[in-house]
Amino acid sequence: MTRPTNLDVFVYLRKSRKDVEEERKALENNTPFDTLAKHRRELLELIRREGHNVIGIFEEVVSGEYLSERPEAQEMLRQIEEGMVEGVVVMDLDRLGRGDMIDAGTIFRAFKFSETLIITPTEVIDCNAEGAELLFGVKSIIAREELKQINKRLQGGRRRSAKDGKSITRKPPYGYLRDQNLKLVPHPEEAPIVRKIFELVAGGHGRQAVVKHLDSLGVKPPEGDLWEQSTVSHIIKNEVYLGHIIWGKEKHFKRNGKRVRKKVPPELWIRHENAHEAIVSQELFDEANTALRGRWRAPTRDGVGLSNPLAGIIKCGVCERALYMTRTADRPNPQLRCINPRCQSIQKGVLLPLAEQRVLQALEILARKSSLSEKELSASLQDESDDVVETKQRQIAHFQKELAELNSMRETAFEMLEKKVYSEEVFLQRHKSISDKIKEAESTISRLQSEIEEELHRRKHQKTIVPKVRAVLENYYSLETPEQKNHLLKSIIEKVMFIRKKEWTKKDQFEIEVIPRFPI
């Protein structure tokens, strides 16, 4: 078809795996380049030559196979379906997607039903034209097969590297460094820590005790800022610390756009023993794993139901993790406490009956609002809500005026580009600055509108709050099992935040904040 001109368009930029590989080789040869920058210049030149108006630039920073892995593409398709533009300028059709036929169908339908053109430097595709669906399908199948071949070569290279005893993980295991030949060498600071972990576990220490010991020493964990029990387990079970490289324990594939993990039988694993220097001996490794297996306990027992009516409801006010119920032989009542090691030095636990009683007392206080007559309640809510709503409506009017001015400034930037007053670099900087301000203004307007809706919703449903709370209080004590009580509380409570500082010595000296599921 004839190449169109003067259209409102999006620009979509994405690296392919081939681009990533070429950039890596260029970097090794000391001739680095940026693929996206090169494509951006070519597409902007095309846009300027054909007189299109750039409405938005979507730049994908990841090379995802499926649409579900590419947030920029998802957002672009959503705006395309809303009729925001007349065309999308892209380097090639396969840049839009190399996923399965489901993704191809999603992309095709979005362009077809919105009557949006796909514009590349070599062709223009109208998804409503005769034979377009066949052309789109054939091109998608070819792109998909190319991707399969690329993946096959990559997997073959990984298998060969594993057989040669090379480390091909995303980053080297904790305790090791990786040299230029992809061989592992002990980390001078982390390797002693790994050896100490094995010694502690082999000596009878549990994972929690190991975590506390490492935190007390100020040792930085492999990821994040907090050692976890699962991290200790992973280290103890990992044969890499014996000097072995094992690859292929799990197979990863995608189903319906989601990554699925499947275990592979041990006989199919690729093993290279003594591939690098070991951090622990076989004897120490076996002792630590035997001790770890001996300490393992199942979290629940078959046939035992929920025993904590506040399970999943009451949370630590410091880290917001759910409190854990524990029982000890010297205390008749179970206790709730946060098992985060850092929180244990900040606040204490609480007896379950006391926490349960305090939550019910908070609900009773809320129920006492029924002493207000319906007329008084409505009047108090009306006066308060009207002021809030009017204030937010004035703010929305202000940001809408600002939004109109920003849109005018963006149109001026397009004119400056067409008149060559702006260079491409200056235009992109100016366009991004204005677009960011527009997004911020739109986000603020959207937030204010949501807050108005929430305020009106709160006013509408305020009258029903007290009856719901009173119904829970009336039925709570008649229920027989903690599980039934838990379900009843969750019907009106979103969560309960708990605080009990170390210096608070009395058993009932703690604070809670009840956050209901409905607005109050």
Residue 55, domain CATH: 3.40.50.1390
Mean pLDDT of 30-44: 80
For 16-20, 109-113, 191-195, which range has the lowest pLDDT when averaged over its residues?
Answer: 16-20
Structural domain contains residue 157:
yes
- The residues facing 43 across adjacent strands are none
Four-point Cα dihedral 335, 341, 343, 344, nearest 10: 50
Q: Are residues 397 and 424 in the same domain?
A: yes
More confident residue, 108 or 116: 116
Structural domain contains residue 159:
yes
Residue 19: pLDDT above 80? no
More confident residue, 225 or 116: 116
- Residue finishing a domain among 247, 276, 295: 295
Please state, in angstroms and rounded to a whole number, the distance separating the CA atoms of residues 509 and 515: 20
Q: Are residues 365 and 323 in the same domain?
A: yes
Residue 102 to residues 67, 105, 408: CA-CA distances in angstroms? 10, 5, 39
Please state, in angstroms and rounded to a whole number, the distance separating the CA atoms of residues 515 and 47: 53
> Phi/psi class of residue 201: alpha, beta or left (left: φ > 0; alpha: ψ in -120 to 50)?
alpha
Please state, in angstroms and rounded to a whole number, the distance separating the CA atoms of residues 403 and 16: 36
Q: Are residues 423 and 445 in the same domain?
A: yes
Q: Report yes or no: 382 and 467 within 8 Å, Cβ to Cβ.
A: no
DSSP strand pairing (324-326 vs 176-178): unpaired
* Summary mean pLDDT of the chain: 81
Structural domain contains residue 3:
no
Residue 150: pLDDT above 50? yes
Structural domain contains residue 414:
yes
Structural domain contains residue 85:
yes
Q: What is the predicted pLDDT for the residue at 21?
A: 67
Four-point Cα dihedral 377, 382, 388, 394, nearest 10: 180
Structural domain contains residue 2:
no
Written as one string, the DSSP assignment of 224-245 is SSS--HHHHHHHHH-GGGGT-E
Structural domain contains residue 383:
yes
What SS3 class is residue 331? coil
pLDDT-derived band at 140 (thresholds 50, 70, 90) equals low
Structural domain contains residue 1:
no
Q: What is the predicted pLDDT for the residue at 122?
A: 85
Number of domains comprising the chain:
3
Residue numbers of the domain that contains 35: 8-163
Residue 87: pLDDT above 50? yes
182 Cβ contact partners less than 8 Å away, ≥ 6 residues apart:
161, 166, 167, 168
- Exposed (0-12), middle (13-18) or buried (19+): which is 93, by Cβ within 10 Å? buried
Q: Are residues 375 and 231 in the same domain?
A: no
Q: Are residues 262 and 313 in the same domain?
A: no
Residue 43: in which H helix or E strand, if any? helix 35-50
Q: What is the predicted pLDDT for the residue at 398?
A: 92
pLDDT-derived band at 377 (thresholds 50, 70, 90) equals very low
Q: What is the predicted pLDDT for the residue at 372?
A: 47
pLDDT tens digit string along 236-252? 999 999 998 888 777 76
Q: Are residues 460 and 485 in the same domain?
A: yes
Residue 364: pLDDT above 70? yes
- Residue finishing a domain among 96, 129, 163: 163
Please state, in angstroms and rounded to a whole number, the distance separating the CA atoms of residues 481 and 309: 8
**CATH code at 230?**
3.90.1750.20
Q: Report yes or no: 150 and 17 within 8 Å, Cβ to Cβ.
A: yes
Both structure tokens of 348: 């204490």
Residue 462: pLDDT above 90? no
pLDDT tens digit string along 405-435? 988 887 888 778 777 788 877 887 887 788 7
Q: What is the predicted pLDDT for the residue at 296?
A: 46
**Closest to 427 in 3D by CA, of 91, 121, 41, 64:** 41
Q: Are residues 422 and 436 in the same domain?
A: yes
Please state, in angstroms and rounded to a whole number, the distance separating the CA atoms of residues 190 and 197: 11
Q: Are residues 51 and 146 in the same domain?
A: yes
Q: Are residues 371 and 502 in the same domain?
A: yes
Q: Are residues 191 and 226 in the same domain?
A: yes
Q: What is the predicted pLDDT for the residue at 300?
A: 43
Q: What is the predicted pLDDT for the residue at 500?
A: 92
Q: Report yes or no: 37 and 8 within 8 Å, Cβ to Cβ.
A: no
Residue 256: pLDDT above 70? no
pLDDT-derived band at 369 (thresholds 50, 70, 90) equals low
Residue 298: pLDDT above 60? no
**Closest to 4 in 3D by CA, of 86, 85, 65, 93:** 86
Q: What is the predicted pLDDT for the residue at 379?
A: 52
More confident residue, 20 or 411: 411
Q: Are residues 23 and 149 in the same domain?
A: yes
More confident residue, 303 or 219: 219
